[in-house]
Structure 1
């Protein structure tokens, strides 16, 4: 089993970094990953999307007056939304050091905010950029920023939270899903927290308090009494004894274990508190310590890890990001569109019988040089373009015999096989295999196709 491929997948989405990790070492790769810069440029696909609250209000006035224009603009915003998914997938796939994007995706599933509910591409993009900028930063600082994004106050209905008519959604999820976890607060804390968040609504660039909607009466929050607002409430949350453990459990699940042991959760949680909730040193400690262990096969690949690894192995250049976005949506990993505020469950959720069947169908398509397919095709030209053959190829030892080639693929694809599986592989690539004969490439591709459709390939 190739340790460097394993860690390339864990720090990214494919084996692209394997040689780099082997050459310069894991710690240097981590340093380079943490040093990656964030492009602050607003992508061109957002040019026509409203970017401030005033712009949004003006556009809504025009749309109310003309239903036809409203319908066209809605279509355009949906197209922009699909472009934003494609843009992000391309970043994940092309970054030299993709750990920042993988961590952004982690935070994206921690502080969930969906386009379907928010209905503003720019707000969703802005939310995503804050996650990217703070991917390796301070957990408390990031929580403060995210709670005051227009996307979050809209997604969790804090726009409806005002004095005399409180909405508890944001207050509840701030405690339950973002920071402490169930069992570490009371229902009274949720009710009182809603008072502190009352009046926090959509602003020009970020969420802002509206004085006439605020509730400025004193209340008790996690044992402290006062008239607290969002930042002060979060400061109090981060003083609680159990604050580190929810996030360390989720980080361990995202990168290494589907079911991390509680002693590990506490061990790394205590370290996170010691480091004043800085994420970068926590990741360094987790990765460097896990690198020294044999922890392969402890996590089911999410759809992105699965499809991007497969495409990388087949040397598919410039893969269609939109088709990938649709594939992972079918697999239950819709970017900017989680099923609920809890986000994607991960673990066994990624390998239901339906998901496994979809993965096998996609493996067949790609190994046979056919692109991913999805939905109706409107005309013949589009059909021809969509089904244009892919130029796929595998790297394998042309001088090796069948046993050596099987061993090479097992190493690269992170296989631990028993005697029966080995026999299955040797049935496909027989003892008299000769790489110089016509059709040898096809024989190795058949073996690869068989291997990536086994349960072992789904693990990382």
Structure 2
């Protein structure tokens, strides 16, 4: 595979940025990605969703006073807003000239998990997503402080139930186990005392706030330090620990480059991450520029998002309803805003189960034939209910319409597959025969058949 295409897939969701990487060089491309602006305006679909505690309380009272049919309709409306938010985010991923920020938001989204299914307030989920976007390339410690004190997180990890008379350890535990240090780098006493420090951190207007009558002001010992610590001080202490840079460095390597990074690489980049005081931008630059020079194609299984957006880019598809895309991702086990649990999507081999692989081959056939990706979607959504099941999509492939069958095969190989062999090429030469004429009337159809065959191979599932 062409190296620029490979890194376009790794730093985005398709091969769309390959030419920009080639023209600018990777360092300049990344700098442009860091500097690209992003929209801070609250989307219109959230206009009628509760935004403040007062509005949320009023909505709850409305639900209490309503009959079952009205309650069902209110809940249905919020579910539809959640679907709109998935579509809104997918459109960002597709449309951005420099999609690295959205790629990083998706990484943080799966690190600091907080789902609509449990939080149930769309505006808080949106705020959570925007915090990730704002801090995507910033400081890991600063981001951790902001996310831990978001309404979505205190609701999702039950800190609304953590009060001085009745301690709930859920947020305290996941802060250490999943968000910062990892198992084996803290004690149960750290969790218990951390929960006391987080007690009373409850829902607020724009972010979580400590409630005076619920917080615990006992002196605690946290990682050997004694004092009356709250969230910010606790996180400062966490980031002083020896293990602080390595869990997140491992996960960043897994997200961008390797499903199974070596401990040597984790230590190498983790030590650097500590040296730059947990600044994300220099870490990403170091990882990308150093790994770009290596022969490491084939080290990571594509997640469903990269798989489907790469296909759409290759086929020049721009008329799929993004809600259908969101539903397809859900079928593939990558439901945006609704991970299966606080650990998030495991990735790796789980992205290539027999069921997922079968779904991928089915969607390859549908798209290559100009059909919608999921014509059997049964969703409680007007846009999808009205979707024409037989709607034809405009699909076309870009390929050099000169040369021979072998040059066309080589061109697609270079774009699509991390590796190939002589036996595969012989099979492809039975699809695109030796007397292939790129100027013939059926040439595009023949190349589309070749493309369809290539994207069903195991080699296409891996980057």
Does TM, normalized by the shorter one, top 0.5? yes
Report Cα offsets for 1:239-281 as digits up to 9, x if no partner.
0011000000000000000000101101111101100100000
Report the Cα distance in structure 2 between the residues aligned to 1:351 and 1:334, rounded to whole angstroms.
16
| 2:6 corresponds to | 6
Report Cα offsets for 1:373-427 as digits up to 9, x if no partner.
2424999x96773421111111112212111110010001134112221111112
Report the Cα distance in structure 1 between the residues aligned to 2:387 and 2:51, rounded to whole angstroms.
38
User: Does the CA contact (< 8 Å) of 2:164 and 2:196 recur in 1?
Assistant: yes
Report the Cα distance in structure 1 between the residues aligned to 2:289 and 2:408, rounded to whole angstroms.
31
Q: Is structure 2 residue 417 aligned with structure 1 residue 411? A: no
| 1:446 corresponds to | 449
Q: 1:51 to 1:384 in 2, by over 3 A?
A: closer
Query: Bigger shift: 427-436 or 184-193?
Result: 427-436
Report the Cα distance in structure 2 between the residues aligned to 1:415 and 1:343, rounded to whole angstroms.
27
Equivalence map 1:397-408=2 (5 Å) = 397-408=400-411
User: Does the CA contact (< 8 Å) of 2:319 and 2:393 recur in 1?
Assistant: no
User: Does the CA contact (< 8 Å) of 2:319 and 2:394 recur in 1?
Assistant: no
Report Cα offsets for 1:60-102 as digits up to 9, x if no partner.
1121011333221111100000000000000000000000000
| 1:15 corresponds to | 15
Q: Is structure 2 residue 30 aligned with structure 1 residue 30? A: yes
Report the Cα distance in structure 1 between the residues aligned to 2:38 and 2:123, rounded to whole angstroms.
17
Which structure 1 residue ranges, 5 or more long, are not aligned? none
Q: 1:406 to 1:83 in 2, by over 3 A?
A: same
User: Does the CA contact (< 8 Å) of 1:4 and 1:19 recur in 2?
Assistant: yes
| 1:375 corresponds to | 377
How far is 1:219 from its partner? 1.4
Q: Secondary structure of 1:243's partner?
A: coil
Report Cα offsets for 1:196-235 as digits up to 9, x if no partner.
0111111111111111111111111111111111111001
Which structure 2 residue ranges, 5 or more long, are not aligned? none
User: Does the CA contact (< 8 Å) of 2:320 and 2:393 recur in 1?
Assistant: no
Q: 1:194 to 1:375 in 2, by over 3 A?
A: same
Equivalence map 1:74-153=2 (5 Å) = 74-153=75-154
TM-score normalized with structure 2 length = 0.97
Report the Cα distance in structure 2 between the residues aligned to 1:376 and 1:241, rounded to whole angstroms.
49
Report the Cα distance in structure 2 between the residues aligned to 1:66 and 1:416, rounded to whole angstroms.
60
| 1:325 corresponds to | 326
Aligned residues: 459
| 1:231 corresponds to | 232
| 2:426 corresponds to | 423
TM-score normalized with structure 1 length = 0.98
User: Does the CA contact (< 8 Å) of 1:53 and 1:205 recur in 2?
Assistant: no
Report Cα offsets for 1:164-223 as digits up to 9, x if no partner.
211110000000000000000011111111100111111111111111111111111111
How far is 1:350 from its partner? 0.4
Report the Cα distance in structure 1 between the residues aligned to 2:66 and 2:399, rounded to whole angstroms.
61
Report the Cα distance in structure 2 between the residues aligned to 1:331 and 1:57, rounded to whole angstroms.
36
Query: Bigger shift: 295-304 or 31-40?
Result: 31-40
Q: Alpha carbon RMSD of aligned pairs, Å?
A: 1.5
Q: In structure 2, which of residues 393, 398, 403 is the aligned counterpart of residue 395 of structure 1?
A: 398
Report the Cα distance in structure 2 between the residues aligned to 1:177 and 1:167, rounded to whole angstroms.
17
Equivalence map 1:49-60=2 (5 Å) = 49-60=49-60
Q: In structure 1, which of residues 453, 457, 460 is the aligned counterpart of residue 460 of structure 2?
A: 457
Report the Cα distance in structure 1 between the residues aligned to 2:403 and 2:121, rounded to whole angstroms.
55
Q: 1:386 to 1:433 in 2, by over 3 A?
A: same
Report the Cα distance in structure 1 between the residues aligned to 2:100 and 2:319, rounded to whole angstroms.
20
Report the Cα distance in structure 1 between the residues aligned to 2:440 and 2:29, rounded to whole angstroms.
41
User: Does the CA contact (< 8 Å) of 2:327 and 2:377 recur in 1?
Assistant: no
Report Cα offsets for 1:349-387 as digits up to 9, x if no partner.
1000000000000000000111112424999x9677342
| 2:359 corresponds to | 358
Q: 1:210 to 1:338 in 2, by over 3 A?
A: same
| 1:44 corresponds to | 44
Report the Cα distance in structure 1 between the residues aligned to 2:387 and 2:113, rounded to whole angstroms.
38
Report the Cα distance in structure 1 between the residues aligned to 2:345 and 2:42, rounded to whole angstroms.
27
User: Does the CA contact (< 8 Å) of 1:6 and 1:414 recur in 2?
Assistant: no
Query: Bigger shift: 411-420 or 16-25?
Result: 411-420
Report Cα offsets for 1:290-315 as digits up to 9, x if no partner.
11111111101111100000010001
User: Does the CA contact (< 8 Å) of 1:256 and 1:299 recur in 2?
Assistant: yes
Report the Cα distance in structure 1 between the residues aligned to 2:254 and 2:418, rounded to whole angstroms.
21
Find runs of 4+ consecutive structure 1 residues off by over 3 angstroms: 376-379, 381-384
